[in-house]
Chains A and B, each alone.
Chain A
Amino acid sequence: MFKKVLWLALCTSALGAQAAELRVLTHSSFALSKELLAGFEQQSGVKVVVIKAGDAGEMVNKLILTRANPIADVVYGIDNTLLGKAQQAGVLEPTASPAGAAVKQTLPGMVSVDYGYVTLNYDKAWFAKQKLALPKSLDELTRPAYKNLVVVENPATSSPGLAFLLATVKGLGEEPAFAWWGKLRDNGVKVAKGWSEAYYTDFSKNGGSRPIVVSYATSPAAEVFYSKQKLAEAPTGNLLLKGGVFQQVEGVALVKGGGQKKAARQFVDFLRSDAVQADLPRQMWMYPVVPGVKLNPVFALAQQPVAHDTPDSQAIAAKSAGWVSRWTRVVLKSGY
């Protein structure tokens, strides 16, 4: 039976290779309305095969490992934390932005598609009930009043976790940042493996006991959108502190050595089209890079940060591995 299946799959994949097929590699959070993708297929005459490769960090590593035999023609979802690494490994083809409205959030060598912010979220009901004032700086989080209240994701296994670490390094300066992390550890910070774990098992809004979590600035809006009774106000809020906001810009690029160049280029332009830009926010909870696109009114419920501390992608490429291992030493390894 298995052999038959294998054989069948072989045949279909062989057949598939003959039809024009555009292989799009994405991270697992990628989502787009089916009608839009179908429209693109019709217009371009190619079949789009979306391949999900896990978390964005995992995806880039898979791309790097297979650079001799690329597994995709175009890749979406590489952000400014990973761009440098991907470029150093030489897996991307420099891809120029399409002509049109000037966008503010750009990625060198890639075409930016959407952006968002990684920041702290807090549980409004918890703070109201405990009558505790919101912290006004990262430093305050290391005080006894905020003991055991914070959960962060491990930057070695989670993209938002890494983004938050990068923001602290940029916002506080490298040495003070790690000193701060040391104090936060002493004040009982909990480290979760990834966003879902932190948000659903440790955040006090759900199963856990900690009212402050590293999440996204659009999460409060998503909380309202995915609430049971339509809420007028978000149950969570953004805690926009100096050194605690990271601007994440995601983009699309052609894969070096990939095929279907023309269709790939069309796909890049397609992601910048008004229809896709208007669809993205609600699908992935990111802001569109093209200015003037009308947002779902629910986005008004999430405060958009005006300032952020984001190192440039060259600095990230050069130093983030070192920062992560130093973080592991300071937060996880000390005490063993």
Chain B
Amino acid sequence: MRAVFSRQALALLPLAFLILMALAPLARLLYEGGGGLSANLFFDDYLRWRLVWSLTQAAVTCVLALAIGLPLAWALARFAFPGRVLILRLLLLPFVMPTLVAALGVLALFGPHGVTGLNLQDTPWLLLYGNLFYNLPLVIRAACEALATVPASRLAAARTLGCTAWRAFWRVEWPVARPWLASALCLVFLYCFSGFGLALLLGGQRYATVEVEIYSLVAYELNLADAGALALLLLCLSGGVAFGYAWLERRLATPGKVEPLPPRPAATLAERTLLAGALVLLALFAAAPLLAVAGRALSAGVEAWAVLGEGDTLAALANTLRFSALALGAAAVLGLAHALAAQRWLWLRAAAFLPFVLSPVCVAFGLLLLYPGWSASLALLLGAYALLAYPFVAKSVAAALDGVPPQWPQAARTLGASAPRAFARVVWPLLQPAFRRGLAFAAATALGEFAVTLFLSRPEWTTLTTLIYQRLGRPGAASLDAALVLSSVLMLFAVSAFVIIEWPARRDRDSDHA
């Protein structure tokens, strides 16, 4: 009984944080707008098109990401090959790229001066490509984790009973993977739906999402009434998605200890072709734009790399390191607390999506209104980082908790272990991989910091990402080169962070070599 109470008490921390950092600012902004929500906003054809477009592109991206991501993930999960673990870590890299730099990478491939000679600029194809660049890795990662929870014995039984690999996939692997995929697709949908997105950059204003409309209403027109109405509408729509997901995930959870199928080398010609095809697809969708950025940086010459020695760059590197570490610390605490508490309540589980669902510009302006005295303080900035980063930890750990059979900690308790001890010795070791995975995503978010530019900042808080945007804020080939070099440094930095955070535990390492 005490354990239940302490878990409920755990909810207070993330709840207080969410209320202080997200809900109260939004409410304050709505209040400032006068609260008179004008319905006629929704009779505007143009806004309706925005809304329909936002929904359509998000849905199409989800379908494509699943169709391409699942077979790709299957190949990555089932076949052993050199560099497999590294590739799984690198999958988070697109997440870190500032949108503008990603767009430069994409255009270096498929732009008017692209190396492929194929100019797709201003076509819908480029938009979908851009969306897949950011979101495919999310689905692949989730699917790989999912396939690793399929019991090897069950698969072996199915095959012994005469199932083909194809049939075994549909009857054994697919049911296990479903909740994981649902979770990832939900995230993809929310990102595409409410994001500023690469789509806008690659497609021009015609493809702007509703969030861009809100940004312009708040930041430029100071039309808080309309902006608030739109933000609430978005909140309801995507909040519904988040709630549906939380329900789905809990229903589909199948606790139990699994002995996963270790990856094995591709043996037959068909298997090798499948693996090769998967790697080619992955390179095409996720790696190519990054390689284009790195390639352009490398070919920029020694003068361009001299930017690394500049005081500004070193200071930005130090800030990036400092802020990411602090944000990760906060994300770890908040995420764990949220996940543990969310075992009991569905709404709390859905609430972990709140930071993804709220309009960043509304939150930023709301915070300014609510805490003017604190507006230019480091604490608020770090709070914003933590707000954007911690849901990943919460989500990941919550999913892993579903997989812990309740009998195990109960058995430990019966054998005399105290509740904390049972948690530390039984539950925690099972959660750890998911916790690290969530932290890696959180690190990617903190390094990428999409929305942090909306907050007040100081020159001495410049991070790598802001420095990149500064360089791209002035003309000249050298400015562009410096931005590309800095982006490459950001990638290196991110890769080392991912590798350290997800340093394989001994058991994983063994299975990787098996």
What mask results when residues 230 to 246 of chain B are scored 1 for a CB within 8 Å of chain A, else 0?
Answer: 00000000000000000
Could you tell me the distance between the alpha carbons of A252 and B392 in the complex, rounded to whole angstroms?
Answer: 43
Contacts A156-B216, A192-B204 given: A66-B372 contact, CB under 8 Å?
yes
Per a CB cutoff under 8 Å, which of A2, A53, A68, A156 touches B329?
A: A2
Report the stretch among A129-137, A172-180, A215-223 that lies at the interface: A215-223
Is there contact, CB below 8 Å, between B377 and A13? yes
14 intermolecular pairs with C-beta atoms under 8 Å apart: A2-B330, A2-B334, A5-B379, A50-B458, A54-B219, A69-B372, A71-B368, A197-B100, A201-B104, A207-B103, A207-B107, A207-B112, A236-B475, A336-B45
What mask results when residues 160 to 181 of chain A are scored 1 for a CB within 8 Å of chain B, else 0?
Answer: 0000000000000000000000
Could you tell me the distance between the alpha carbons of A271 and B220 in the complex, rounded to whole angstroms?
Answer: 27
Q: Which 10 pairs from chain A and chain B are nearest by CB?
A: A226-B476, A2-B330, A9-B379, A69-B372, A1-B329, A209-B112, A207-B107, A191-B205, A333-B46, A226-B478
**What's the least CB distance linking B482 to chain A, in Å?**
9
B156 within 8 A of A: no
Per a CB cutoff under 8 Å, which of A154, A156, A204, A333 touches B112?
A: A204
A52 within 8 A of B: yes
Could you tell me which residues of chain A, from 197 to 236, have a CB within 8 Å of some CB in chain B? Answer: 197, 199-202, 204, 206-209, 215, 219, 222-228, 236
Report the stretch among A56-64, A138-146, A273-281, A311-319 that lies at the interface: A56-64
**What's the least CB distance linking A203 to chain B, in Å?**
9
Contacts of B379 in A (CB 8 A): 5-6, 9-10, 13
Contacts A62-B456, A157-B220 given: A222-B476 contact, CB under 8 Å?
yes
What mask results when residues 362 to 394 of chain B are scored 1 for a CB within 8 Å of chain A, else 0?
Answer: 000100110011111111001100100000000
Could you tell me the distance between the alpha carbons of A333 and B206 in the complex, rounded to whole angstroms?
Answer: 9
Contacts A71-B375, A201-B100 given: A51-B326 contact, CB under 8 Å?
no
Per a CB cutoff under 8 Å, which of A55, A193, A224 touches B212?
A: A193
Per a CB cutoff under 8 Å, which of B48, B112, B369, B458 touches A66?
A: B369
Is there contact, CB below 8 Å, between A49 and B458? yes
Q: Which residues of B contact A (CB under 8 A)?
A: 32, 45-46, 48-49, 100, 103-104, 107-108, 111-113, 119, 121-122, 200-202, 204-206, 208, 212, 215-216, 218-222, 300-301, 303-304, 326, 329-330, 333-334, 365, 368-369, 372-379, 382-383, 386, 453-454, 456-459, 469-470, 472-481
Per a CB cutoff under 8 Å, which of A52, A197, A285 touches B459?
A: A52
Could you tell me the distance between the alpha carbons of A223 and B475 in the complex, rounded to whole angstroms?
Answer: 5
Give the size category of A's interface with B.
35 or more
Contacts A156-B221, A208-B107 given: A192-B205 contact, CB under 8 Å?
yes
A308 within 8 A of B: no
Is there contact, CB below 8 Å, between A52 and B368? no
Is there contact, CB below 8 Å, between B469 and A227? no
Per a CB cutoff under 8 Å, which of B45, B107, B220, B304 touches A333?
A: B45
Contacts of A296 in B (CB 8 A): none
Is there contact, CB below 8 Å, between A154 and B477? no
Is there contact, CB below 8 Å, between A226 and B456? no
Is there contact, CB below 8 Å, between A68 and B372? yes
A38 within 8 A of B: no
Contacts A65-B32, A333-B45 given: A207-B201 contact, CB under 8 Å?
no
How many pairs of A and B residues are in contact by the CB < 8 Å rule? 182
Could you tell me which residues of chain A, from 315 to 336, have a CB within 8 Å of some CB in chain B? Answer: 321, 324, 328, 332-333, 336
A266 within 8 A of B: no
Is there contact, CB below 8 Å, between A208 and B121? yes
Contacts A51-B458, A52-B457, A71-B375 given: A201-B474 contact, CB under 8 Å?
no
Is there contact, CB below 8 Å, between A207 and B454? no
Is there contact, CB below 8 Å, between A2 and B368? no
Contacts A66-B375, A201-B100 given: A196-B469 contact, CB under 8 Å?
yes
**What's the least CB distance linking A330 to chain B, in Å?**
12
Q: Which residues of A contact B (CB under 8 A)?
A: 1-2, 5-6, 9-10, 12-13, 23, 28-29, 49-55, 57-58, 61-62, 64-66, 68-71, 154, 156-157, 190-193, 195-197, 199-202, 204, 206-209, 215, 219, 222-228, 236, 285, 321, 324, 328, 332-333, 336
Per a CB cutoff under 8 Å, which of A9, A193, A227 touches B205?
A: A193
Contacts A2-B334, A201-B100, A207-B108 given: A9-B378 contact, CB under 8 Å?
yes
Contacts of B474 in A (CB 8 A): 222, 226, 285
Could you tell me the distance between the alpha carbons of A5 and B329 in the complex, rounded to whole angstroms?
Answer: 10
Is there contact, CB below 8 Å, between B456 and A199? no
Could you tell me the distance between the alpha carbons of A274 and B326 in the complex, rounded to whole angstroms?
Answer: 42
Contacts of B375 in A (CB 8 A): 66, 71
Contacts A57-B219, A61-B222 given: A227-B104 contact, CB under 8 Å?
no
Could you tell me the distance between the alpha carbons of A208 and B373 in the complex, rounded to whole angstroms?
Answer: 43
**What's the least CB distance linking B225 to chain A, in Å?**
14
**What's the least CB distance linking A306 to chain B, in Å?**
22
Contacts of A215 in B (CB 8 A): 475
Could you tell me the distance between the alpha carbons of A219 and B46 in the complex, rounded to whole angstroms?
Answer: 34
Is there contact, CB below 8 Å, between A228 and B456? no
Could you tell me the distance between the alpha carbons of A33 and B170 in the complex, rounded to whole angstroms?
Answer: 64
Contacts A206-B480, A208-B112, A208-B121 given: A65-B368 contact, CB under 8 Å?
yes
Contacts of B108 in A (CB 8 A): 207
Is there contact, CB below 8 Å, between A193 and B330? no
Is there contact, CB below 8 Å, between A71 and B473? no
- Chain A, Cβ-Cβ closest to B200: A193
Contacts A51-B458, A208-B107, A209-B121 given: A65-B473 contact, CB under 8 Å?
no
- Chain A, Cβ-Cβ closest to B386: A2
**What's the least CB distance linking B418 to chain A, in Å?**
25
**What's the least CB distance linking B66 to chain A, in Å?**
29
Contacts of B481 in A (CB 8 A): 228
**What's the least CB distance linking B411 to chain A, in Å?**
33
Contacts of A12 in B (CB 8 A): 378
Per a CB cutoff under 8 Å, which of B111, B216, B329, B456 touches A157?
A: B216
Contacts of A66 in B (CB 8 A): 368-369, 372, 375
Contacts of B202 in A (CB 8 A): 201
